[in-house]
Structure 1
Amino acid sequence: MTIDQRPTVRRVLIITLVLNLLVMILKAVVGFLTGSLSLLSDALHSVTDSANNILGLVASRFSSPEPDREHPYGHQKYEAVGALGIAAFLGIACFEILSGAIERILYPPTEPLRISAVELWLLLIVLGINIFVAFYERHIGQKIGNAILIADAKHTMSDIWVTITVLAGLLAFWMGGARFPWLQWLDVGLAFPVALLVFSSGWSVLQDNLPWLVDEMAIAPEAIYSIAMKVEGVLNCHEIASRGVVGRQVFIEMHLIVNVTDVETSHQITEEIEAQLLEQYGPARIVIHVEPPRYYSDQISFSQSNPDIPLEES
C-alpha cells in the first residue's frame, strides 16, 4: 500500500516558491545595479527555480498513488513527467546563459562593471537562502521518496554553486577592479561554467527519471528469484519482471510452480512470497501466476536465463 504524500510535497513546494521568488528578485536587482552578466544569468536560473516549483505543484496535483478506473496503476508517473519538465527548464536556462555570454563578447557593453560591499552582502544572503532551500527539499524528498522534490533540490544545489561562482568573480573585481580593469571580463568568462553547472543538473534529473518512464527493470530478476525459491513449497520461479522505482512504487510479476495441488495452500505460498518482497522492496504491487509442473522453465527473466543459479528439478 502506498501513502499519499502530496500534502507534504505541496507544503514544501509553496515554501520554496516564496523563497525562490525572493532570491530571483534580489539577484535581478543587484544584477541590474552592477551590470553583471553572470549575475543576470544567475537570476535567469532562479526564474527557472520558481517555474520548477509551479510545475511541481501542478504535477503533484495529478500524481496520486491511488489507482482508478482510467489509471489502474496509479498516477505517480506524473512526478517523473514533472521532473523532466524541470530538466527542460534547465536546458532553456543553459541556452539563454550561453547566448548572453556570446552576445557580450561580440558586443562589449559601454558601461563598465560596478559593485559595492552592500551588493556583495545581498548576494551572501541569497546564497544562504539557496543553501536552506536545497537541503530542506532534499531532506524531505529523500524522506518520502518524492521525485519532484529530489529533482528540484538538485536544481537548487546547482544554483548554490552558480551563486558561489558569480560571487567569487564579483568579489575579485571589487577587490582589484580599479587596478586591473580587465577583471571585468572575468564576469563574462564565469557565465560559461555557470551554464555547464546548469546543464549538468538537468542531465542528472533526466537520468534519474527516464528509467521510470520507459519501464526499465527496477529489481534484478535474480534477486526476486532468490527470495521466491527460499519459500517452502516453491519448485520453480520464472518469467520475472519488475518496473517502477524502489522506494516509490514497484510492480512485480512472475510465474510460479509449487509443490502442492490445492488452491488454498498455493495461495498461502504466494502470500508468503509477496510479504517477503514487500519487506525488501515495498511499496509494491505483485502479481504471481501459479502454473502446473509441466510449465517448468529455467528462463528466470525475459530473453535471458542465468546459468549461475542452479534451478531445482521438478
Structure 2
Amino acid sequence: MSNIGERWQQRISKGQLKRASNGQHHSHGHHSHGHHSHGHHSHEHNGHGHNGHEHPNFKSFYTYRAEVRRVLSITLVLNVAVVLLKLIVGWWTGSLSLLADALHSITDSANNVLGLVTNQLASPIPDRDHPYGHQKYEAVGALGIAAFLGIACFEILRGAGERILFGGEPVTMGATSLWFLLVVLGINIFVAFYERRVGLRLGSNILIADAQHTMSDIWITMAVLGGLIGVWMGVQWLDLVLAFPVAILVVRSGWVVLSANLPWLVDEMAIAPEAIHAVVMRVPGVLNCHNIASRGLLGRQVFIDMHLIVEPTDVLSAHNITEQIEQQLEQDFGPTRVTIHVEPHSYVESQISYGTQENEITIMND
C-alpha cells in the first residue's frame, strides 16, 4: 500500500475523525507543491489526513462498514423467509400475482448479497490504483439493484401476458393463506423502515436503495393481498389485473434507485460553487477564488478543486491560508479532499465555476 494509503488506514483505525471546529492541531496527510512556469503553486489537502475532520453523521470507515454489513445480513435472513412464504402460498393457491411477487422478493435477497459484496469492496482508503478510494463500488451495487428491479418487472409482465393469451389454472384462496401474507407484509414493513433509518443515519446509498426496493415490496404485497381477497370473494380476474400496477410500482422503484446514484457515478456537482466560494472568501488573505469544482457524496467524502489568489506574500504564508480554507470547508461540508491551485494576482477571474456566465461575481480591484 502507498504511504498515503498507510496514513489513511492508521488514522481511520485509530478513530481520529474529528471536526475542524474542535480546534485540534492539524498534521497533513498529504501536501504537495508544484512550481509551474508562471510561478503557480498547487496545494492538495487530504481532509481525513488532518487528524481527520468529521461531519456529525460520519463514522470511522470500519465501524460504518460493519454496521452496513450487520443490517444487510439481518435483512437477508428475513428476505429469504419472505421468499419461502410467498412461494409456498403462491404454489398452493396458484396465484400469478403472488408468484410474481415471490420472484420480486428473490431479487431482494440477491440485492442483499450484492450489497454485502460491494460493502466489502467500497473502501474510502486510497491506494496506488485507486487514488480517490473505492466508494463508487457502493453506487455500482445500487445500480445492480435497479437492474434486478427491471428483471422482476419483465417477469411479472411476461407472466401476466401468458395468462391473458393462454389462460391458466383458477386461483384458490383460503383464510390460512391470507394470514401467511399478513405475516409477510409485517416482515417487509419492518425491513424497509429498519434499512431506511440506518441508511439515512449512516449516509449509505446501498441501504437506502435496498430500503426503496423493499418499500416497493410492501406496495406490491398489499396489491397482491387485495387481489387475493377479491379471489376469495369470487372475483378471479382481480389477481391478473393487479399484476400490471405491481409492475409499474417495480419500475418506479428502479427509477428512484437509478436517479439517486447516477449523479455520483458521473461526477455531478456535489456542492454548489457559490457555497464553496462564500466559505473561501471568508478566510483572511484571500483575494479571489475561481474555477471551483466538486464531486463526491456530501456527508461521506467530497473532492474539491479551485484556483486561488491571495495577498502577494511568501509561499509559507500562502500555504497557511490554504490550510485555513481546508479547515473551514471541512467544518462546513464534512469530509473533503481539497486541491488548491495558487495563482498570482494577474490571473484574477470573475467566473467562479465552469459552464455559463450566470455565476460571475464582482471581484476586488487592485
- Shorter-chain TM-score range: over 0.9
Identify the residue that residue 114 of structure 2 maps to in structure 1.
Answer: 55
Identify the residue that residue 172 of structure 1 maps to in structure 2.
Answer: 230
Report 1 or 2 for greater relative contact order, CA contacts < 8 Å, sequence distance ≥ 6. Answer: 2
Structure-2 separation of matches of 1:50 and 1:307: 46
Distance 1:308 1:297, change over 3 A: closer
Larger helix percent: 1
Q: CA deviation at 1:307?
A: 5.4
Distance 1:29 1:72, change over 3 A: same
Contact 1:63 1:77 (8 Å CA) reproduced: yes
Contact 2:216 2:253 (8 Å CA) reproduced: yes
Identify the residue that residue 85 of structure 1 maps to in structure 2.
Answer: 144
Q: CA RMSD in A?
A: 1.2
Per-residue displacement from partner, 1:232-270 (whole Å, max 9, x unpaired)?
Answer: 111000000001121221110101001141222222221
2:304 is the alignment partner of 1:252:
yes
Identify the residue that residue 292 of structure 1 maps to in structure 2.
Answer: 344
Q: 1:18 aligns with which of 70, 77, 90?
A: 77
More deviation, 85-94/213-222: 213-222
2:294 is the alignment partner of 1:206:
no
Structure-2 separation of matches of 1:207 and 1:248: 18
Q: What is the percentage of aligned positions where both structures have the same residue?
A: 65
2:206 is the alignment partner of 1:148:
yes
Contact 2:351 2:360 (8 Å CA) reproduced: no
Moved over 6 A (4+): none
Identify the residue that residue 333 of structure 2 maps to in structure 1.
Answer: 281
- The one-letter amino acid paired with 1:74 is G
More deviation, 2-11/155-164: 2-11
SS in 1 for 2:307: strand
Identify the residue that residue 221 of structure 2 maps to in structure 1.
Answer: 163
Structure-2 separation of matches of 1:313 and 1:218: 30
Identify the residue that residue 279 of structure 2 maps to in structure 1.
Answer: 227
Structure-2 separation of matches of 1:281 and 1:213: 20
Q: CA deviation at 1:308?
A: 6.0
Q: CA deviation at 1:6?
A: 1.2
Structure-2 separation of matches of 1:171 and 1:260: 78
Q: 1:42 aligns with which of 101, 117, 136?
A: 101
Identify the residue that residue 136 of structure 1 maps to in structure 2.
Answer: 194
Structure 2, gaps ≥5 residues long: 1-47, 49-57
TM-score normalized by structure 1?
A: 0.95
2:168 is the alignment partner of 1:116:
no
SS in 1 for 2:291: strand
- The one-letter amino acid paired with 2:208 is I
Per-residue displacement from partner, 1:121-150 (whole Å, max 9, x unpaired)?
Answer: 110000000011001111111111111111
- The one-letter amino acid paired with 1:60 is N
SS in 2 for 1:236: strand
Q: CA deviation at 1:313?
A: 2.0
More deviation, 217-226/266-275: 266-275
TM-score normalized by structure 2?
A: 0.82
Structure-1 separation of matches of 2:329 and 2:312: 21
Structure-2 separation of matches of 1:307 and 1:121: 60
Structure-2 separation of matches of 1:292 and 1:199: 53
- The one-letter amino acid paired with 1:226 is A
2:243 is the alignment partner of 1:184:
no
Contact 1:300 1:306 (8 Å CA) reproduced: no
Aligned residues: 307
SS in 2 for 1:103: helix
Structure-2 separation of matches of 1:92 and 1:281: 38
Structure 1, gaps ≥5 residues long: 178-182
